[in-house]
Structure 1
Amino acid sequence: MNYWLMKSEPDAFSIDDLKRKKQEAWDGVRNYQARNFMRDGMRPGDRVFFYHSNCAVPGIVGIAEVATDAYPDPSQFDPKSHYFDPASTRDKPRWMLVEVKFVKKLKRTISLYELKSDPALEGMPLVRKGNRLSVMPVEAADWKYILAME
């Protein structure tokens, strides 16, 4: 099993939205490295930290599970979508997505400040300066350590 962190702005899609829907496509990723993580690394059953970004207290708020293998993100083909990509074709799709399913909401937000302040996590991509990826891997040891912080 692999471990991941996926960011979402809670005004767009929150952990409570995922809890209500139970399973949802993680669409709209338009960064090649994040896409590659979904396409080449994520497998059904992998665990995901659900992270709220661009909010009053950014941080890890829940756990999800990868529910599907990656497949083409349909929004790239829709001219009415904010995520439309005219260079992408159905024969050669540029953007992929996975579906994630709700596992649990954490009892509290494990804030970015808290994560950055912990020397044990200094190697984690999330806490490195300038890291803006919406999808990133998490080392198994970091996963266990962060779960214990709850």
Structure 2
Amino acid sequence: MAYWLMKSEPAEVSIDDLAARGTVPWFGVRNYQARNFMRDAMRIGDRAFFYHSSCAEPGIAGLCEICAPAHADATQFDPASPYFDPKATPDKPRWLCVDVSFVRKTRLLPLAELRAHPELAAMPILQRGNRLSITPVTAAEWNFISERLL
């Protein structure tokens, strides 16, 4: 099993939205490295921290699980979507998504609290300039956060 941190703006999809829906496609990823993580590395059963970003109080808000492998992100084909990509076609999609299912909501674990622990210093979310919406989490980082902070 691999572990991930997946960012979502709560105005778009929050942990409460995921809890209400049960599963959601992780749509709108428009970074090739994040797309490649979904395509090449994510597997059904992998776990992820659900991270609220671009909001008043960013941080880990819950846990989710990958429940469907990478597939074409439908928003790339919708001209009304902010994620529309005119170069993408159903035969040659440029953007992918995975489906995630709700595991549990947690207390909000803010970025400042993550930064306070030297054990987490290497996490990509804590690196200056890292804006990826999906990043890997080591087993040690996952266990530290899950067992000691949530």
TM-score interval, smaller chain: over 0.9
What is aligned with 2:143? 144
Runs of 4 or more, structure 1, over 6 Å off, are none
- Identical-residue share of aligned pairs (%): 58
Structure 2 distance, partners of 1:144, 1:9, is 25
What is aligned with 1:119? 118
Question: SS at 2:68's partner residue?
Answer: coil
Task: Point out where structure 1 has 5 or more consecutive residues left out of the alignment.
Answer: none
What is aligned with 2:25? 25
Deviation at 1:123, TM superposition (A): 0.7
Structure 2 distance, partners of 1:83, 1:130, is 23
Task: Point out where structure 2 has 5 or more consecutive residues left out of the alignment.
Answer: none
Structure 2 distance, partners of 1:134, 1:66, is 15
Structure 1 distance, partners of 2:86, 2:49, is 32
Structure 2 distance, partners of 1:138, 1:128, is 13
What is aligned with 1:13? 13
TM-score by length of 2: 0.97
Structure 2 distance, partners of 1:89, 1:13, is 25
Deviations 1:10-29 (A, max 9, x none): 11110000000000111010
What is aligned with 2:132? 133
TM-score by length of 1: 0.97
Describe how 1:89-128 pairs up with structure 2 within 5 A.
Answer: 89-106=89-106, 108-128=107-127
Describe how 1:46-85 pairs up with structure 2 within 5 A.
Answer: 46-85=46-85
Q: Which amino acid aligns with 2:135?
A: M
Deviation at 1:68, TM superposition (A): 0.4
Question: SS at 1:68's partner residue?
Answer: strand
Structure 1 distance, partners of 2:127, 2:135, is 12
Deviation at 1:49, TM superposition (A): 0.3
Structure 2 distance, partners of 1:12, 1:68, is 20
Structure 2 distance, partners of 1:67, 1:21, is 14
Tell me how many residue pairs correspond in the alignment.
149
Question: SS at 2:91's partner residue?
Answer: coil
